[in-house]
Structure 1
Amino acid sequence: MKVLTAADVRRTVSMPAAIDAVREGFLELAAGNFVLPARQIFGDGTVLVMSAYHSPTGTAVVKKIGINLSQVPAIRATVIWTGGGEQLVADGTSITTLRTGAVVGVATDLLAPPDATRLTLIGTGAQAADQVRAVLAVRRIATTTIAGRNERRATELAKTLATEFPIVTFTPTTSIDDAIATPDIICCATSSTTPLFTADALPQNVHVNAIGAFRPTMRELPRDLLATADLVMVDQREAALEESGEIIDALAKGALKESDLLELGTALTTKPNPTGRTVFKSVGVGCQDWSIARALANSDD
């Protein structure tokens, strides 16, 4: 049995490699090659269990997640991967942030303007840095604004990322309105229960990723953005309908129809050609964890 720490995960799978792995995972999902049971939720959402079974290879992954939004990191998880007589147990917290960043990289590569140079990140929690790493892996970003309620945390994150990406200018701020006025790409990674901004505060041409709200009671995106966006993409329609507060609200109010939701796997097989405002909403699905765990299991390290 292979046991991997968070440091092992990071050393073994880079963000570009994670993006490639997750992209392949969603192509496999679109091909119908996964069995994805509904996420099990316990303790009013404080404990989650996710699983995925890949039929062609007979491999499977199970992830147990504990969530406490009052601590950092808010998510603590363990991943178990089995296949071919081999078993891998790995730090699931690092896998979760890595695969969540990776899926944003896949979506951004599909929907964001090819010449995008300006990024805004809203949120300074455990998921935040991998959102930036993923976008920088697929676009030549020159400037990144980091918006957070806590000025110290925004400044610390900006300094950390500036060391990692010295050719990018990082600017911390506590003003979301200022941060969203001019970017080409926005990443939302917060635990907000109310929308972070209004649609009329955004540029006319912008791609927005939202990964923070994973319960029906949580919302990062405003209803008017979902109603007016040229394209709204989700990781998986079924998961979004069960867990995304923004999507559930927009459907209930008639701002969206289920048929308006484009699945990521479908977009990878028939690439869209969007203009104007685009949105990617992710709540996370088991094939992402499987993709990273398979990369770890197949590594020579």
Structure 2
Amino acid sequence: MTMPAAIKAVREAFVGLAAEEFDLPPRQAFGDSRSLVMAVHHRPTGSTAVKVISIEVERDPMITGTVVYSHSDGQFVTDAVSLTTLRTGAVVGVATDLLADEDASHLALLGAGAQAVDQVRAVHAVRPLKKLVVFNRNAKKAEALLESLKDELPDTVMDVANDADEAVRDADVVCCATASTVPLFRCDSLKERVHVNAIGSYRPVMRELPEELLATAGVVVVDQVEAALSEAGEIIRAVQSGVLRLESLVELGAALGNPPLREGRTVFKSVGVAVQDWAVARLLV
């Protein structure tokens, strides 16, 4: 499956979510969020997707599991790892297309784990990249990632940064894909006009974004407010401290119907919702 096809499918799914086409119960987490169960039902087609995964931060890939897509003709079962990286990349592509400047071409990627390649592919699909800078605590993993992307991005200048602040300094788009529990960079390291995606944190104790960024961003978009308030550490902390107003959070589906202004710094925070799995599984079927 191509990344542009996945982006289109995920975009349509979030429009459908905003139109209340889905039954989407909260994600179930067990064992300190080491086991997750995600389910969704699409009423217009009568189809359902269920994903069961286990997560171990020190394992590579962190995720193992299975996705089951049920529809009128039967069931489709697939491995959760590649589907999850693809659908997570796709939602970043949707958000970047919505919020980044049309001429954005410089991506800073923080994290070189299993999610990294599809983060790059998704941004490149909507904003062709002239420059890619990667920072990872293990520099060899960053170098290996860039080596694996050379054939796909032959015209893109690539580099490994010494630290996260250096990586983001001149970027038009930033993608955070780590398991960090502390902010990855300082807000003042960012350009005044930049779009930031964060997909790594999925537990209240995890954070990738500095509080100052959430306090001063022109718009903060989330995949789903309910999910963000229960799982996104940086969103929870910023709302509780009062620097981010709950009513200022915009869900992605609503933003697609009423695009916000591309001004200043914009943020998309995703913890992942089951409509993304449904969209990609349906497209595979």
SS of match in other structure, 2:91? helix
- One-letter amino acid of the structure 1 residue matched with residue 227 of structure 2: A
What is the 5 A alignment of 1:45-124? 45-124=33-112
2:198 to 210, 219, 223: 210
Find the aligned partners of 1:24 and 1:72 in 2 and give their Cα distance.
31
| Count of matched residue positions in the alignment of Structure 1 and Structure 2 | 285
Corresponding residue to 2:145 among 137, 157, 162: 157
Mark the runs of 5 or more structure 2 residues left unpaired by the alignment. Answer: none
Residue in structure 1 matching 2:136, options 148, 154, 159: 148
Distance 1:171 1:159 in 2: 10
Using the TM superposition, give the Cα deviation of residue 169 of structure 1 relative to its aligned residue in structure 2, in angstroms: 1.4
Q: Is the 8 A contact 2:165 2:186 kept in 1?
A: no
1:34 and 1:293 map into 2 onto residues whose CA distance is 15
TM-superposed CA distance for 1:74, in Å, is 0.4
Q: How far apart are the structure 2 equivalents of 1:135 and 1:199? A: 21
Q: TM-score, normalised by structure 1?
A: 0.93
Counterparts of 2:62 and 2:80 in 1: how far apart (Å)? 12
- Partner amino acid for 1:65? I
Q: Matches of residues 208-287 of structure 1 in structure 2 within 5 Å? A: 208-287=196-275
Summarize deviations over 1:110-168 as a string: whole Å, max 9, x none: 00010011110000100011100000000021000011111111100011111221111
Aligned to 1:177: 165
For 2:82, the aligned partner's letter is S
Identical pairs, percent: 54
Match of 2:17 in 1: 29
Q: Contact (CA 8 Å) 2:14, 2:275: kept in 1 or not?
A: yes
Corresponding position: 1:167 with 2:150: no
Q: Do the aligned residues in 2 keep the contact of 1:235 with 1:281 (CA within 8 Å)?
A: yes
Give the distance between the partners of 2:208 and 2:135, measured in 1 at CA. 14
Letter of the 1:75 counterpart: I
Counterpart of 1:164 in 2: which secondary structure? coil
Whether the aligned pair in 2 keeps the contact of 1:147 and 1:154 (CA below 8 Å) is yes
Kindly report the root-mean-square deviation, in angstroms, between the aligned alpha carbons of the 2 structures: 0.7
**Aligned-partner residue type, residue 140 of structure 2:** R
Whole-angstrom distance in 2 between the partners of 1:123 and 1:174 = 13
Contact 2:112–2:142, Cα closer than 8 Å, also in 1:
yes
Q: How does 1:11-26 map to 2 (within 5 A)?
A: 13-26=1-14
Q: Within 2, Cα distance between the matches of 1:137 and 1:129?
A: 12
Gaps in structure 1 of 5+ consecutive residues: 1-12
Query: Which letter does structure 1 place at the counterpart of 2:132?
Result: T
Per-residue CA distance 1:263-292 (angstroms, 9 max, x = gap): 100011112222010000000001000000
The separation in 1 between residues aligned to 2:129 and 2:32, in whole angstroms, is 39
Whether the aligned pair in 2 keeps the contact of 1:159 and 1:170 (CA below 8 Å) is no
Question: What does residue 10 of structure 1 align with?
Answer: none
Give the letter aligned to residue 163 of structure 2. Answer: S
How far the C-alpha of 1:101 sits from its partner, in A, is: 0.2
Q: 2: CA distance between counterparts of 1:244 and 1:90?
A: 27
- Contact 2:111–2:177 at 8 Å: present in 1 too? yes
Quick one: distance in 2 between partners of 1:183 and 1:102?
20
Contact 2:135 2:142 in 1 (8 A): yes
Contact 1:150 1:174 in 2 (8 A): no
Moved over 6 A (4+): none
- Mapped to 1, the partners of 2:128 and 2:80 lie a distance apart of 29
Q: Deviations over 1:217-255 (max 9, x none)?
A: 000001110000011000011110110000000001001
**Matches of 2:284 and 2:123, distance apart in 1:** 22
Structure 2 SS opposite 1:287? helix
Shift in Å, 1:174: 3.0
3-state SS in 2 of match to 1:163: coil
